[in-house]
Amino acid sequence: MNPEISVVITLYQEGELLGETIDSVLDQTFQNFEIVLVDNNAFPETISIAKSYAGRFPDRIRIIKETVQGICSARNTGIRESRGAYIALLDGDDILKPGRLERQIAVMKGRPDLSMVTCIHDRISFDNREVLQQDVCGPSDATWRQFEKEFAKLFRTRFGKDYLASFSFQPPSTFFFKKETAIKAGLFDLRLNPRWGEEVEFETRMFEHGPFYCIPESLVLYRTNSPEAKKFKDSQIPGQERFLQDHKFFTILWEHFAPLSKENIPVLKKIRALWLRDIGHRMLVYRQGKSIGDTLIKRSLKADPGDITTWKFYLKTFFPHFLYPKIFWFQTFNEQPLDKFDRDFQFKFLSWPPRFLEEQKTVT
């Protein structure tokens, strides 16, 4: 008999933290589950721990392989290979509280109209010795809270207010959904490999298949990165590459939502303006990023001239460069060279109408 729930955990560089993650699943109050470990070219220590658990719990834990590098490919393979009707995603360094699966499957069975059940979470230190923040619900970043509100508007021509009110961004380790719903939605978009923004893009498509419900109880411990882990993740997808991923994400968003309704166009324009300002702000952290950052903020203002915050940002760009750390709220300049950007990036980034960068031949 197949398990009701498949807990999908992707493997890469989790190392000894993976054991704590798996133990937290094995300790669930709801026991009709399997654990699907997806080896995404994982480091030897991670694989060794995974094999140890699979050997001890052969009826409960499986290891499958996905050679295409990237969280999208790994999660998709895990979902497809799952035997359960329900999927619980979990990153290999996060921890479940004992009642997560029991609470989420009960909600999903009681509300079959839902496309996804999530929950609030606690943020913990890397060594799990300290709770840094309790009962976190949604994005902590102010800009992403704005994005959340704007993204919900992309559905307003199709769904009512109560439906729209359920939309929220939550971390993947809280995601719980039916396997068939995720497959209907198209799973994770492989164009967003290796990672960055893939969970938000997935949420927007899942929302088309039913409202969300966030359980107002912390059922997941979300582990913050150690300095070493953060440095490694940044080496996987450096800051410059993240900006390119942001462009790709927005272009995919446009590609999906623009044809659905004319009313989505002004919403997408607002999202674009916010994104230009946000990336412009982040570019200013780089010592070599003044020209790009200033230009992106100016373009954001042109796209949405009524935004007071953007006006404040724009006026600050006229101050001397050495004051930027103070007036734009960062400690010191990042000295990393910006050699991966071509000279027209500040004009091509989030062009209108959106196009993938590789399709752009001239300045727009």
Query: What's the rounded Cα separation, in Å, for the pair 183 and 162?
Result: 25
Q: Tell me whether strands 95-96 and 212-223 are parallel, antiparallel or unpaired.
A: antiparallel
Q: How high is the pLDDT of residue 238?
A: 56
DSSP code for 328:
T
- Contact between 42 and 125 (Cβ < 8 Å): no
Question: Pick from 340, 345, 339, 314: which is nearest to 327 by CA?
Answer: 314
Q: How high is the pLDDT of residue 360?
A: 66
Q: How high is the pLDDT of residue 357?
A: 74
Q: How many of the other CB atoms lie within 10 Å of CB of 325? A: 14
CATH number 3.40.50.2000 given to 5-230: no
This prediction has a pTM of: 0.93
- As beta bridge partners, residue 88 has 7, 176
Query: What's the rounded Cα separation, in Å, for the pair 105 and 118?
Result: 11
Identify the segments of the chain with pLDDT beneath 70: 226-239, 359-364
Q: How high is the pLDDT of residue 331?
A: 95
> Which of helix, strand or coil describes residue 196?
coil
Q: How high is the pLDDT of residue 343?
A: 79
Q: How far apart are the two ends of the chain, measured CA to CA in Å?
A: 57
Q: How high is the pLDDT of residue 236?
A: 47
Instruction: Write the CA distances from 132 to 14, 29, 121, 125, 126, integer angstroms.
Output: 20, 26, 11, 6, 10
Q: How high is the pLDDT of residue 364?
A: 36
Q: Tell me whether strands 33-39 and 5-11 are parallel, antiparallel or unpaired.
A: parallel
pLDDT tens-digit series, residues 78-118:
999 999 999 999 999 999 999 999 999 999 999 999 999 99
Q: How high is the pLDDT of residue 244?
A: 84
> Which of helix, strand or coil describes residue 97?
coil
> What does the domain layout of the chain look like in residue ranges?
5-230, 238-359
Q: Which amino acid is at 155?
A: F
Query: What's the rounded Cα separation, in Å, for the pair 75 and 67?
Result: 12
Query: What's the rounded Cα separation, in Å, for the pair 324 and 28?
Result: 49
pLDDT tens-digit series, residues 266-282:
999 999 999 999 999 99
